[in-house]
Amino acid sequence: MSNKKLYSIGEFSKITGLSPDTIRFYERKQLIHPHHGPRRLRLYTPKQVDHVALLLRLKAAGFTIDEIYTYTTYRGQGSETIPTRVRLMNEKIAVLQEKQSDITASIKYLKEKIKFLENQK
């Protein structure tokens, strides 16, 4: 590990865009596993930067912290879990499509209401 670049929590925070508090929260949730250097200082690798990018993409896609933990646990188990990970993503897509339908219906209603109100002038 001595030949690899290691980042302090401050450097890791700047690179990933996560606050140190969020990094510690993700550690408590077992989503990030830092190395420990002298005096138990947290140290992070470039591979962990990529891992955080995955966490953030999953979060942006609507995955909860628990769902992200489940997905990344399967991911860590290797390619034999690909069917399970595909199933998890398909389930999330179905949930997002339902939300999208609800949002579309709400937008349509509000536009109709605006049109009605504007005609009341």
DSSP string, 66-102: HHHHHHHHHHHT-GGGHHHHHHHHHHHHHHHHHHHHH
How many domains does the chain divide into?
2
54 and 15 belong to one structural domain: yes
* CB contact at 8 A, 96 and 64: no
User: What pLDDT, on the 0 to 100 scale, is given for residue 37?
Assistant: 85
State how far the alpha carbon of 14 is from the alpha carbons of 10, 17, 18, 20, 40, in Å.
Answer: 6, 5, 7, 9, 20
61 and 91 belong to one structural domain: no
Tens of pLDDT, residue by residue over 86-112, are 999 999 999 999 999 999 999 999 999
Please report where in the chains the tokens 């339902």 appear, as a residue: 98
67 and 97 belong to one structural domain: no
16 and 67 belong to one structural domain: yes
User: What pLDDT, on the 0 to 100 scale, is given for residue 3?
Assistant: 52
11 and 39 belong to one structural domain: yes
Tens of pLDDT, residue by residue over 9-20, are 999 999 999 999
